[in-house]
Chains A and B, each alone.
Chain A
Amino acid sequence: MSLHYGTLQIVIGGVFVVLSLLLASAFVVIGLQAGTDVSVERVHRVGYWLRKRWLALLAAVGVVVVGLSLLDLPYASGGAARRTTVKVTSGQFFWAFEPDRVPVGTRVRFDLTSVDVNHGFILYNPRGHLVGSVQAMPGYHNELDLTMSQAGIYRVRCGEYCGLNHSTMDGSFTVTGR
């Protein structure tokens, strides 16, 4: 399976690039101005004026992005009554699904655990886009709710270093057409 960039990942990558370039530009400008002679009083007057706004901007952005992120938490909630539970057992170095296929459109609750060490369940859809990830831990059950919207083979790779064959520990889960 080859990997492909998802839309969300492209957007996030773009935001990161833009912010990084803005910051880098600011450092270049300040560096170029470092050789000039500006009085300390002026630096303080302008700098502290700007700093208040910088703090306000970061605080406002923080409230917005943290607030928005709380609206989209991936944690399973509520009962599994209208969901198909898929038990996922991991171990060095395998993934086992029970059942291992569901019809397209099924609302699935993945119930993950491990028989030995910590593993990471990274799920890729049939187009090779990373859908999401959750840990599989010994002694615990992590539950992930997803609606399987595409027919085809979903691939799983291990996302938590688990020993010698970590990079080849993969599995698959089939979503059939109706």
Chain B
Amino acid sequence: MEAATATPAPPAILHPQAVAFTREAQQVERRVGVLFGVTGIALVAAMGVLALLMRLTQADETGLSPAWFYRLMTLHGVGMITGVLLVMMGALWYVLHPVVPLRPGRVYASYTLVVGGAVAVLVATLVGGFGAGWTFLPPLPFFPVGQWPVWSESLFLVGNLLVGTGFFVYCLDVLEQTTTASGGLGRALGWQYLLGREPEAPAPQVVAATVVAIDGLLSMTAGSAIVLGLLGRTYDSGVGIDALVAKNLVYFFGHSIANLVIYLAAGAIYVILPRYAGRPYETSKVFVAGWMGSLVFIATAFSHHLYMDFVQPMWAQVGSLVASYAALLPVAVITIYSMTMLVWGSRYRWTLASTLFYVGLAGWAIGGVGAVIDSLIPINFRFHNTVWVVAHFHTYLMMTVVLWALAFVAHLLERETDRTSSPALRSATIGLLLVGGYGLTGTWFVAGALGVPRRYAVQPDGTVGYSSVGAIFALLFALGFLACIVQLAPLARAAWARRHSTSVEHGPGRAAGTAGARAGAAPQSDERPPGRVGAPLGTAAHLGFAVALAVVAIVAFFPGIVDASETSTRYHHLDHAGQFLFGIVIGLLLGSFGTVSRMLGDHPAWGLTLVIVAPATMMLLMVPRLYEPLESNDLQHALYHLAMAAFGLVAGLGATRLTPLGGRFSAFLAVAMTLMFAAAMTGGAS
């Protein structure tokens, strides 16, 4: 009896005072963390090997052809982003689930989609030879100069679509659950607290996750719009692409997803790093205000990629300049600064995980300096698309995100086993990572200042030496990475053995006896049900707004409007968007009625599927090759336009199967996707 009631000893691996605010991870949290973490790390390792091969090729050491170099470059870009994205999705889920009832089914669906997308990209590049770069800047995929067949280009686009959709599913679940658990969007973002209307602030990871989810949903919608348009172009050469709009959409998608990885990580760091410092991280008004800034800056900074596209409107250039600098403030003043305050004089527990977390903070700060310098337009004019850019984003991706990815997996294993590696081995590992990583990025910074352009399989005369030195440093970094894995392997074996023996002893599903269990304090989240289906148009204001929208949107069916729109592909697609809008509003209205809602039942998974698939299918059918033959027959023509509304209706009904806010937001995104599609796709092949 005494043994059952005694207070357990605190875990050796964490700070003794962390007991007060650290609870044991549930089995599902560990499972998701390990699944995402290990898959992501494996992908990062594989992509790292490709990176080393590329640097050696630039150093003229491999004999690899430019065709193969660009295939590897394309795969490296998508694969590396996907790898770190997976780890950080898992990390945020791991720390968010204890306070918000996220749905495991959703996160596994998301995992399947993201990994499926990564496999598709792998096949498209290595087997199909696709090599248009991870940015697939339109219309490059359609100008292969004999290097890749149509199927590989299509498969690559499908792969990107799957990765984006997987992240969309993840973000929507996060948004639905944080807002439901908090009692609304304003509360989840901390606005009520910021304005002094409520004394209690949301947990920091809730604020971070909600911001990431909103920006993730917006940027994945942009990515889906352009990818679906490009897929249409693969089977109809009559589809044209507006290069400027397409580039905006590509970078809204690509820049944002790369950028969001570090913000996902930040959400996890707020919870994990304090466990080693013994000081909890608490939400403050400054913190909430900073994340409000990040919400805006993450979504707007992407267009600094278009500084040298002089036809981009001036307001966008200046806005991006301001946003790119301003994005630094919350990061430098809140996240990084606050973390150093946690560490300072805390009797910090130095383990493999906690050391990697700490040195990763420095990478974010130093990488940020390079990024801010490059974000100033007159400087960008002289550094744009030189390897300086490669240097700054590798500084924070390699020296922050990759290190934090290793740190997260190390944290899982350290908690599971209550062990870490020896100080000497740890120091050597960190030394290799720092010297190798900063040495490699240093060679890019120096070569970038010289004016060496990026993405060159063959380096300009007299500059090969930078690649040779860079390759040596890359090798050192790879050794450091390998040393981490070697240190984690025995922990993984011990954790596996421990879990296995626990399962045998207590039966499947029983999780007990970990170090974290001794620290348990917070309530188990399974006591709180996830957000339920609810009428998305639940108030008179909602209903009035929806009816007004439907009245306006019905104009899209007027024969005069339809005929006028057919003089231009862009306006024609805009008309389709109007018809889709009409349908989706009707769907939302119908699904908001109690009788219809009861008939449809409580099927959020189906609702989510419909709200994603219906607009996507509509856009795949929106190519001149399919609709132009129908225009000579009035009945077929009318039915085609009604079909646009029918897709909207289906999406709208699907949206009503989500939580009220999730339904409204996903409906808005579906309509936004059709508008972005209309803006980017023009008549005539380009």
A129→B337 CA distance, assembly (Å) = 38
Q: What is the number of residues of chain A that contact chain B, defined by CB distance less than 8 Å?
A: 83
Residues of B within 8 A of A99 (CB): none
- Are B381 and A137 touching (Cβ within 8 A)? no
- Are B243 and A140 touching (Cβ within 8 A)? yes
- Are B381 and A62 touching (Cβ within 8 A)? no
Interface string of A35-59 (1 = CB under 8 A from B): 1111110111001000100110011
A86 at the interface (CB under 8 A from B): no
A70 at the interface (CB under 8 A from B): yes
A132→B153 CA distance, assembly (Å) = 33
Q: Which residues of chain A from 2 to 24 have any CB-CB distance to chain B below 8 Å in the complex?
A: 2-6, 8-10, 12-13, 15-16, 19-20, 23-24
Interface string of B340-359 (1 = CB under 8 A from A): 11011111101000000011
A87 at the interface (CB under 8 A from B): no
Interface string of B430-462 (1 = CB under 8 A from A): 000000000000000110011111111111111
- Are B143 and A73 touching (Cβ within 8 A)? no
State which of B184-192, B217-225, B314-322, B647-655 sits at the interface with chain A. B314-322
- Are A74 and B333 touching (Cβ within 8 A)? no
B379 at the interface (CB under 8 A from A): yes
- Are A12 and B373 touching (Cβ within 8 A)? yes
Within the complex, the shortest CB–CB distance from A15 to chain B, in Å, comes to 7
- Are A166 and B456 touching (Cβ within 8 A)? yes
Asked, given contacts A55-B333, A58-B329, A58-B333, whether A13 binds B445 with beta carbons under 8 Å apart, the answer is: yes
A118 at the interface (CB under 8 A from B): yes
B370 at the interface (CB under 8 A from A): yes
Residues of B within 8 A of A8 (CB): 382
B66's partner among A3, A38, A130, A165 (CB-CB below 8 A) is A165
B127 at the interface (CB under 8 A from A): no
B590 at the interface (CB under 8 A from A): no
State which of B174-182, B360-368, B421-429, B541-549 sits at the interface with chain A. B360-368
Q: Which residues of chain A from 130 to 178 have any CB-CB distance to chain B below 8 Å in the complex?
A: 130-135, 137-144, 157-168
A33's partner among B247, B325, B345, B455 (CB-CB below 8 A) is B345
Residues of A within 8 A of B70 (CB): 161, 163-164, 166
B617 at the interface (CB under 8 A from A): no
A81 at the interface (CB under 8 A from B): no
Interface string of A93-104 (1 = CB under 8 A from B): 000000000000
B378's partner among A1, A72, A162 (CB-CB below 8 A) is A72
- Are A118 and B314 touching (Cβ within 8 A)? no
- Are B309 and A142 touching (Cβ within 8 A)? yes
Residue of A nearest to B355 (CB): A31
- Are B347 and A37 touching (Cβ within 8 A)? yes
Residue of A nearest to B333 (CB): A55
- Are A65 and B325 touching (Cβ within 8 A)? yes
- Are B385 and A122 touching (Cβ within 8 A)? yes
- Are B453 and A47 touching (Cβ within 8 A)? no
A76 at the interface (CB under 8 A from B): yes
B140 at the interface (CB under 8 A from A): yes
- Are B385 and A133 touching (Cβ within 8 A)? yes
A135's partner among B309, B326, B345 (CB-CB below 8 A) is B309
Asked, given contacts A163-B144, A163-B145, whether A9 binds B314 with beta carbons under 8 Å apart, the answer is: no
A122→B365 CA distance, assembly (Å) = 29
A140's partner among B244, B340, B341 (CB-CB below 8 A) is B244
Residues of A within 8 A of B378 (CB): 69, 72-74
Residues of A within 8 A of B242 (CB): 139
- Are B332 and A92 touching (Cβ within 8 A)? no
Residues of A within 8 A of B379 (CB): 12, 69
A141→B347 CA distance, assembly (Å) = 60
B341's partner among A3, A43, A133, A139 (CB-CB below 8 A) is A43
Residues of A within 8 A of B140 (CB): 117-118, 161-163
- Are B343 and A30 touching (Cβ within 8 A)? yes
A29→B77 CA distance, assembly (Å) = 35
Within the complex, the shortest CB–CB distance from A177 to chain B, in Å, comes to 25
- Are B345 and A62 touching (Cβ within 8 A)? no
B311 at the interface (CB under 8 A from A): yes
Residues of B within 8 A of A139 (CB): 242-244, 686
Interface string of B649-665 (1 = CB under 8 A from A): 00000000000000000
A167→B373 CA distance, assembly (Å) = 25
- Are B345 and A43 touching (Cβ within 8 A)? yes
- Are B358 and A31 touching (Cβ within 8 A)? yes
- Are B365 and A23 touching (Cβ within 8 A)? yes
- Are A62 and B329 touching (Cβ within 8 A)? yes
- Are B385 and A159 touching (Cβ within 8 A)? yes
Residues of B within 8 A of A134 (CB): 308, 310
Residues of A within 8 A of B450 (CB): 3-5, 9, 130
A142→B457 CA distance, assembly (Å) = 27
Within the complex, the shortest CB–CB distance from A145 to chain B, in Å, comes to 10
Residues of B within 8 A of A31 (CB): 343, 358
Residues of B within 8 A of A128 (CB): 451
Asked, given contacts A133-B381, A140-B243, A143-B310, whether A55 binds B329 with beta carbons under 8 Å apart, the answer is: yes
Within the complex, the shortest CB–CB distance from A75 to chain B, in Å, comes to 5
- Are A5 and B449 touching (Cβ within 8 A)? yes
Residue of A nearest to B345 (CB): A38
Within the complex, the shortest CB–CB distance from B316 to chain A, in Å, comes to 12
B67 at the interface (CB under 8 A from A): yes
Residues of B within 8 A of A130 (CB): 382, 386, 450-451
Residues of B within 8 A of A157 (CB): 453, 460
Residue of A nearest to B142 (CB): A117
Residue of B nearest to A23 (CB): B365
Residues of B within 8 A of A137 (CB): 243-244, 247, 309, 311
- Are A135 and B308 touching (Cβ within 8 A)? yes
Residues of A within 8 A of B67 (CB): 164
Within the complex, the shortest CB–CB distance from B426 to chain A, in Å, comes to 13
Residues of A within 8 A of B308 (CB): 120, 133-135, 142
A173→B340 CA distance, assembly (Å) = 52
Within the complex, the shortest CB–CB distance from A12 to chain B, in Å, comes to 6
- Are A167 and B459 touching (Cβ within 8 A)? yes
B469 at the interface (CB under 8 A from A): no
- Are B362 and A27 touching (Cβ within 8 A)? yes
- Are A40 and B347 touching (Cβ within 8 A)? no
A65→B376 CA distance, assembly (Å) = 8
- Are B449 and A3 touching (Cβ within 8 A)? no
Residue of A nearest to B278 (CB): A40
B609 at the interface (CB under 8 A from A): no
- Are A12 and B449 touching (Cβ within 8 A)? yes
B369 at the interface (CB under 8 A from A): yes
Within the complex, the shortest CB–CB distance from A89 to chain B, in Å, comes to 15
Residues of B within 8 A of A162 (CB): 140
Residue of A nearest to B310 (CB): A142
B463 at the interface (CB under 8 A from A): yes
Residue of B nearest to A17 (CB): B445
Within the complex, the shortest CB–CB distance from B136 to chain A, in Å, comes to 10
A2→B452 CA distance, assembly (Å) = 10
- Are B137 and A37 touching (Cβ within 8 A)? no
Residues of A within 8 A of B384 (CB): 120, 122, 133, 159
- Are B321 and A66 touching (Cβ within 8 A)? yes
Sorted from nearest, which 7 A-B pairs have the closest CB atoms? A38-B345, A130-B451, A167-B456, A34-B348, A159-B385, A142-B310, A72-B378
Kindly list 6 other residue pairs between chains A and B, CB separation below 8 angstroms, not including A23-B369, A44-B341: A38-B346, A118-B137, A118-B140, A161-B137, A161-B140, A166-B456
Sample of 14 A–B contacts (CB below 8 Å): A12-B449, A31-B343, A34-B345, A35-B348, A40-B279, A43-B346, A66-B322, A72-B378, A74-B377, A92-B145, A122-B453, A124-B451, A162-B140, A164-B67
